[in-house]
Structure 1
Amino acid sequence: MNTIVLTITPLIAPRSLDDADAADFLAYGELNRLICDEAVGLPDLAPDAAQMLPAWHDSTDTLQTGFVARSDDRILGMVTVAFAQEAEAHAAEIDLLVPAEHWGHGVEDALLARAEDEARAQGRSVLQIWSLHRPEETERMLVPRTGWGRVPAIPLSDLLEARGFELEQVERNSEFDLRADSEPLRRALAEARSVAGADYRLVEWMLPTPPDLRDGFAAVLARLSTDAPSGEMDFVAEEWDADRLIRREEQLTSAGQAMSVAAVQHVPTGELVAYNELLIGADRGGVTHQFGTLVSREHRGHRLGMIVKCANLLRWRERMPSSPIVSTFNAEENRPMLSINEAIGFLPVSYAGAWQKKI
């Protein structure tokens, strides 16, 4: 096994993908899809370069950095590192992108070491990274510290274990067939609304969020970082207000993406207490991605999760009739949300491992 002579340089985020210096960022988008395809056969799990670029231009909430590994001007791999900008944030989120043909020659080791150096330079004490796994049983299965779920060992997990990372959590990636009969969704929605009663009202919109709902939606978005099951992963409590919501929505929609939100408002208080988001890229015939789904802790047990999921899926079928499937990730220990998914027809297609290392 020969070690390749590498040069590692910063990944440049161009002002536009039409600029002369955009080649590496375009390659980043292609590499992202290749890695998802090689890992689990699902290239559409990855956003493309146009979808990712806006977030690199605005570091107000998250600072994005990255590095490119080359040998003789040929790109062999990349690594990106994201830093949440809350004052109490300790973690650096790493995405290691080395295709199979270049794995095992020192590329992955060099890029992971460069990411750790960047994390230290930014004053971070925790490294986080995610691995993708096929839904299969192999001779060596890995169980996370939560005790929920298991994934097969792969070269990336071997590398992470060797570098001192621990598998903290397993997430299930499920897909819903948007072309299936919609009657089960309608029945489930009607039953859930009957259980919830008059104290809970369904509210729906397409981005951008109406001005009168911004503060309330920002407040419930903030709950995702603290209320969603995350094992021992070191996630900072995110700080949200209407300005951050506007920044996020500008990033999401600037590349031609569209998002639908279904939320539940608690009528006695006027607060938004549950939500579900569905997002699609500029290609309206592509895969739809479910972003956040949450029911505030104080309002669980009223079928609000079922309401927002079913309502948004039904609405999406009318708004985006060409999209074939919805893809979503949920923690294996999040049994209430997985039960909703299973009841309405989501099927598991892959898994993700959440890894962490203290430095």
Structure 2
Amino acid sequence: MTTAALTITPLIVPATLDEANAADFRAYGALNRQICDEQVGLPELAPDAAQMLPDWQDDSDSLDLGFVAREGDEIVGMVTVSFAQESDANAAEIDLLVPAAHWGRGIEEALLDRAEAEGRTRGRSVLQMWTLHRPEEGERMLMPRTGWGRIPATAESDLVASYGYTLEQVERNSEFDLRRDTEPLRDALRAALDAAGPDYRIVEWLLPTPPELRDGYAAVLARLSTDAPSGDMDFVAEVWDADRVIRRDARLTGAGQTVSVVAVEHVPSATLVAYNELLIGADRSGTTHQFGTLVSKNHRGHRLGTIVKCANLLRWRELVPESPVVSTYNAEENRPMLDINEAIGFVPVSYAGAWQKKI
């Protein structure tokens, strides 16, 4: 029996998913979900092809490249590489997608080699990857350099480690059951608002962001890249302005997605100092994803994280009553945010390992 030679070609980004050349991109969306299902049993962790396409079509803020591995006409794996476009960005972010049926035959190494070569060609000095893990004990448990959290070793984590990557951080993926009684959320929100006092008020909107809020929203979004715990992962300080908010809003809403933002304004300074985002795709019966959540460093200790989370979850129940669950990621060392999650009912369902290699 002979096996067709492995070929690796660039992933085509179509104008629409109905184009004749869109088959590979549709396959990318399906493969992304298949990998999440195989690795942690949560296919909806991954966005579908329609949700991803606007991001791939606009490289203003992040350049995304993909490569498709085939044996004959069969797709046997893919890899993507993302490059932040800030002038001082050092890292290339790699996502390796090889299903279990094709793992262990050299395909994953060939794709990872191709991705690393792309990072080097584009002058990046840091390579980053994320691996998915079930919430269970394994024969070998891996501890990140932060010292917070642990994950069971997998075939992919062994591959990444063999390539010289270091496990820098563990992130917890938690879910909140949207069908549960809302009274505990309402109680927590009332208590947090009382603790915060009159210097803080809630501001909420659906994307696209109203013009008068774009500058303030840009400022608080920029803080996510610098204020959120990230261990020693090399994340560039993102540059945000009103125009970037407009571009991001267009990407997020371009595939029929709905995004709710609840923010807190510091009344004396008239600045946004905390925010929480909830997003769902065109299928309103699917999983809701929490995107950014942040409280600016100089406004922590006023229970603003509880305010934005609880207020947005309550709002979401009215906006999208069909969605059963909210999924979110938090660094294991981010105890203040995990404490809030645990108190209001989020439970861990999977974990991610953040890996990094300097070249």
- Tell me whether the two structures share a fold, i.e. TM-score over 0.5: yes
SS of 2:47 mapped into structure 1? coil
Report % sequence identity.
75
Aligned length: 358
Deviations along 1:193-235, one digit per CA (max 9) or x if unpaired, are 0000000010011111111110000000000000000000000
Matched position secondary structure for 1:24: helix
Q: How does 1:316-335 map to 2 (within 5 A)?
A: 316-335=316-335
TM-score (norm 1): 0.99
* Aligned equivalents of 2:194, 2:268: Cα separation in 1: 17
The residue matched to 2:60 in structure 1 has which SS?
A: coil
- Give RMSD over aligned pairs: 0.9
Letter paired with 2:240: W
Contact 2:4 2:72 in 1 (8 A): no
The residue aligned with 2:7 is 7
Q: Does residue 38 of structure 1 match 2:38? A: yes
User: Paired residue for 1:84?
Assistant: 84
**Mapped pair 1:95 → 2:59:** no
2:355: which partner in 1?
Answer: 355
Matching residue of 1:180: 180
Aligned AA for 2:48? Answer: D
Equivalent position of 2:314 in the other structure = 314
Per-residue CA deviations over 1:237-293 (Å, capped at 9, x if unaligned) read 000000000000100001000000000000000000000000000000110000000
Give 2:154's aligned residue: 154
Unaligned 5+ segments in structure 1 are: none
Offset of 1:5 from its aligned partner?
A: 2.6
Q: State the alpha-carbon separation in 2 of the partners of residues 357 and 258 from structure 1.
A: 36
Shift of 1:3: 8.5
Please list the CA deviations of residues 24-77 of structure 1 after superposition, one character each: whole Å capped at 9, or x if unmatched.
000000000000000000000000001001111111100010100001111000
Letter in 2 for 1:240: W
Which residue does the alignment assign to 1:167?
Answer: 167
Contact 1:276 1:312 in 2 (8 A): yes
Q: Equivalent residues in 2 for 1:1-359 (5 A)?
A: 5-359=5-359
Distance 2:168 2:358 in 1: 12
Q: Does the 8 A contact of 1:67 with 1:79 survive in 2?
A: yes
> Does the 8 Å CA contact 1:4/1:106 hold for their aligned counterparts?
no
Taking structure 2 as the reference length, the TM-score comes to: 0.99
CA displacement, residues 310-334 of structure 1 (integer Å, 9 cap, x when unaligned): 0000000000000000000000000
Unaligned runs of 5+ in 2: none
What is the letter of the counterpart of residue 13 of structure 2?
A
Q: Distance in 2 between matches of 1:319 and 1:58?
A: 28
Give the whole-Å Cα distance in 1 for the aligned partners of 2:24 and 2:231: 35
Instruction: Return structure 1 stretches of 4+ with deviation > 6 angstroms.
Output: none
Q: Please state whether the residue corresponding to 1:173 is helix, strand or coil.
A: strand
Work out whether residues 17 and 50 of structure 1, in 8 Å CA contact, stay in contact via their aligned partners in 2: yes
Does the CA contact (< 8 Å) of 2:4 and 2:71 recur in 1?
yes
Q: Provide the C-alpha distance between the structure 2 equivalents of 1:86 and 1:112, rounded to a whole number of angstroms.
A: 24
